Every structure is written in C-alpha cells, then in structure tokens.
Amino acid sequence: MSKNLKIGLFGFGVVGQGLLDIIQSQNLNLEIIKIAIKDPRKKRTLDKDLFTTDRDEILNNTEINTIVELINDAEAAYEIVTTALKNGKNVVSANKKMIATHLAELVALQQEHGTSLLYEGAVCGSIPIIRNLEEYYDNELFHALSGIFNGSSNYILSKIFNEDQSYNSALKEAQDLGFAETDPILDVGGYDPKYKLAIATAHAYGLFVNPDAILNIGIQNLSQHDIKYAKEKNLKIKLVPTARKVNTKQIVTYVLPKLVGKDDFLYNVENEYNAVTVQAAFADKQFFFGKGAGGHPTGAAVLSDIAALRYDYRYEYKKYHQEIGVQHTENILLEIYLRYADEDLISLLEFDHISERYAASEFKYVIGTVKLENLIKNRDLLLNKDVFVAYTGRQIYKEEKALSGTFAAEEALL
C-alpha cells in the first residue's frame, strides 16, 4: 500500500513548474503543501498562500513528510537536504553538485536517521541511469560508463557540426532557448558532467570520488581548426565523461571532449539529448538515450523518485557497503589530439608516444599518448585560449610487474 506523501517543494523554476504540470495531469497519492521561493513579487498562477520565503516553515512543518529540492544553490541545497534528513523527512533532489560533493556524508545521514534521499533527476535528465545502476547492474562485473551527460554543450556541438554555426552563435542560441546559463562555464567547461559522473561512479562501482579529483576539460576553446580537423577525418566532437575499471581494484575517471566516429553510439546523439553507454561482463554493451534538459524531462525523473518514496524505496549502495576496496587511479595513458601554440607544453606533458604531428603558421597539433596524471598536473595550461584537447577513445593501462621490472599493457577503446 502506498503512503500519502505531503510535499514541501524548494524551488519553482523550470523543473519545479514542469514537475507540477506532471503531478496535476495525474491522480497521484501526494499533495504539495508548501513551495519555497526566493522572489515573492514574481507573478504566479497558483494561490499565493502556497508560497513562502521561509525555509523553516517547510522544514519544521510536521505535516510535511517529503522534501523535494530543486534549487541551483549547492550550499543552500546542502543545508536543506541535511536538515530534512535529520528531521526524519525523505528527500528528492536534483542538485548534482551538492550530491557529488557530499555523497558519503549524505549516505551516512540516511543510515543514521532511517531516511531516504533519491536523485535520479540529478544525472542525465529523463534517463533512469541511477536506478538501473542500483538494481539491474548491482551484481554485475561492471567495466565502463561513458556518454553525453550535458545537454547544453551537446546542443552547441550539434549546431557547429550539423549546421556550420560558429561556437559563439551556437552558444547564444543555447542561451536564448534556456539550455545554457548566462555564464555557461559549468556546462561547456565540463563541471556539470563531472558532478554527474561522480554520482554515477558511486553507484556503478561503489567508489565515492571527490569531484575535485576528476579531470574536466571542456569545449570552450574549440576553434575552427579543431572543427576542420574532425570533419576531415569524418568525426564529430562530443563532451564525454568516462569511468572505467582498469583492473580489479582501480577505477579511472575523466571528462574530456572526444573525437567520435560513425561507429560510436554517441555520434548521432544531437541537440539537448543525453546518452549513457554502459559495458559489463555479462550484459555487455548497452545504450540509454533521452532528453537531458528541460522542465518536463527532468520533472519526470523527479516524479519517479517521489513515486518510489510512496513505497519506502531507498538506494542500497550495495557495492559501496561490500567494501571491495576499489580505488581511484590516474595510472593510464590516453591518446589525445592536442592543438597548441607553445612548444613547451609538449615537453611538460611528457608524451609517451607521438604518432602524428602537424605545424603551420595558423595552428599546430599532435596526436599522441600522454599520462592522465600529466594532464591533471598541467590542467591550467590546457585551459589557455590557444589550446584544445580531445580524447581519441584509445586508453592504455600499464602495470609494472614487481619482480621482473617489466610492464604489462592493456588497451581499451571507449
């Protein structure tokens, strides 16, 4: 039998209104008691008595048993969510930065207070990837997770490669449509997909990775030279987060632009759509596709979590609690395309091997393998305006044999 949920909603922006639209279109055993907003002067179609600017009016309301948090401010979201969990209220959140940054603490709070925090809407919009990682892949030998996790950057890249728009023109169009913020760096700089990747990695491998430890390089420095190179090779560029097990105990994670060919599932994922590719030992390769932005797609994911709470659903974090001892590593080689201006950068990155090199008066590039740790070490230099990095999909793990002093190499194509 389902519970009657009495909801306190924080945030009434695009996703909040989308959620309300969906709720009103169905006969569900739930009721929104109060909505917290920032600006009480803004005109709204609902009864003004439904709104409040005092968060404690919701958090301390004993009638409310479920909190839905849909605000942009990660710090404020953290205070709301932790207070609610401590007060015995279940929570649904879509704040990927807050969840990724505090996940270990949030899991502990749920255990301590017997509450549940669900966040399907925080990762890839309408794609139910968290629930699938929790339920379908919970006993799988999980190999890899990658995809397109950010609709804003994917929209921009789609316009560039399919309609020959400039980066600035595509960005402005994305902003006008509400896909990208006035300051779009969280999206185009790879921060948003980094937070989502950290959350997905926790459910895929039982490994809680601090987002600060994940390399993120975005598409903000993309130039006509890079676009021309990709098109000449019949490739597209996508911003792709990746998590991969490189041996039984080590997981590697990074967010980089990727050169994708027509044989890659991601090649035809366009506009604001997201996609997730997973690879496991027995299920093999599977592909999830859906809208990653917009009020209704994300609202649908939020509603799915709310509906699950009616039946006391909670994430079990089985792989995390198994304590199998997986660790985060930077011990791999990635093959990259690097456009650069200063030759010193080539020396600093200490390429393991360079397979292609081009130099002209307009621009220079190399194709070669480089250690992930060297990319991380020199990240600030890679963000210079005259530098662009893209991953080719080739990854090599080298393990030193303790007795012989030799190396065993394992290559993966993602």
Residues catalogued as catalytic: 196
Q: What is the dihedral of CA 330, 128, 196, 86, to 10 degrees?
A: -110
Distance (Å, rounded) from C-alpha 412 to C-alpha 414? 6
CB neighbours of 103 closer than 8 A, spacing ≥ 6? 198, 199, 202, 208
For the chain, the straight-line distance linking the first and the last C-alpha, in angstroms and rounded, comes to 44
Burial of 256 (0-12, 13-18, 19+ CB in 10 A): buried
Burial of 97 (0-12, 13-18, 19+ CB in 10 A): buried
| DSSP output for 200-216 | HHHHHHS----GGGSEE
Residue 125: name the closest of 283, 272, 282 by CA.
Answer: 272
In the block, tokens 């909801």 appear at 7
In the block, tokens 């709310």 appear at 306
Answer whether 185's CB lies under 8 Å from 177's CB: no
